[in-house]
Amino acid sequence: MTQASHPPVAARDDAGRRTSAATASRAVRHLVALDAAHGATAALPAVRQLLMRVPELTADPAGLYGADRDLTAALAELCEVIGWILFDAGLNRGAHRMNLRALALAERCGDRAIARLVLLNHSMLHTHRGRPRAALDAVAEVAGPRPLPNLVATLVLIRRAHAIALLGGHREAGALIARARGRFLDGASRLDPPWSWWIDEPELTGHHGWVLARLHDWDHAIPLLYEAATTPGPSYRHLFTAELLAALTGAGAWSEAEGLIADLAPRAAGIGSARTTQTLARTATQLRDCVAAPPNLRDAAAFLLEAVPPHPEDKGRPSR
């Protein structure tokens, strides 16, 4: 069957109405705002509604053959945002599937900018799951025949640094994150895509500290993580606070860790990032069971562990 034989396809909601590219773009803005203000878990109900209303978000992307480019591009971006939210909400398998759908749609409509973002998200997912070589494979696909724009190149270097740090490449990971800072300081270029707005100084500082913490370079990691954790920003940056607590624990900075827990525990229930709460729970468990830690800190860690919300996939299971 020739291409001309395929009628144009548009997404439809459960009432049969067309879902336009503009509607999909509004959904993107709504989800991004929810995530930034309240966290990924708060955005999950809106994600589930979209998955029920827009069949193209769950159907075979090949079914969009013949759809107009604007609609396909808007759906690709929406899938990318949903993939990110599922990832930060701790639903890794769903995030993996949605990333692959977003990539297929972006490639179908030739949206290289969104395809690059999806690959970078996928690299982050692989690193989070302890698969650094798969993370490096994903980030390697971002390159093209021309040099990358500055902020995209910055994010590529950050993703590579995290993966190399997991592989034990101390010098290389340190050099990569230093190069990321240098590239960022060159400033955004006119070719940087609209999605790169969130790659700013606090984001870079947090990742710089996090990479150094992966390398157990506590003296340099802790000030950077502290700076990132105490700078106002979107909800998902609570992750840097969790990584700061982990770094303080690794360094044996007991007094500082206890002070951070005292500040963090009363608001832990409102953290909407499962990645963050998983990290907090892991560190709190480590501190609670650490015989070298002072008793007051161990008690504080036990309190934090009770305050942290359960992982979305752990509901209904026995409590910690």
Over residues 251-263, the pLDDT tens digits come to 999 999 999 999 9
Q: Does residue 95 belong to any structural domain of this protein?
A: yes
pLDDT computed for residue 144 by the predictor: 84
Q: Model confidence at 63, in pLDDT bands (50, 70, 90)?
A: low
Q: Does residue 35 belong to any structural domain of this protein?
A: yes
Q: Does residue 44 belong to any structural domain of this protein?
A: yes
Q: Whats the size of the chain, residue-wise? A: 320
Q: Does residue 299 belong to any structural domain of this protein?
A: no
Q: Model confidence at 85, in pLDDT bands (50, 70, 90)?
A: very high
| Domain that includes residue 102, residue range | 1-110
Beta carbons within 8 Å of 90's beta carbon, 6+ residues apart: 274, 275, 278, 311, 312, 313
Beta carbons within 8 Å of 72's beta carbon, 6+ residues apart: 64, 105, 108, 109, 111
Task: Give the residue-averaged pLDDT of 46-50.
Answer: 95
Q: Does residue 53 belong to any structural domain of this protein?
A: yes
What is each CA distance from 17 to 66, 220, 317, in whole angstroms? Answer: 19, 55, 40
Q: Percent of the chain beyond pLDDT 70?
A: 89
Q: Model confidence at 22, in pLDDT bands (50, 70, 90)?
A: confident
Q: Does residue 43 belong to any structural domain of this protein?
A: yes
Q: Does residue 192 belong to any structural domain of this protein?
A: no
Residue 56 has pLDDT above 90, yes or no: no
Q: Does residue 273 belong to any structural domain of this protein?
A: no
Report the number of distinct structural domains present in the chain. 1
CA gap 56, 247 in Å, rounded: 43
- What is the value of pTM for the model shown? 0.89
pLDDT computed for residue 103 by the predictor: 95
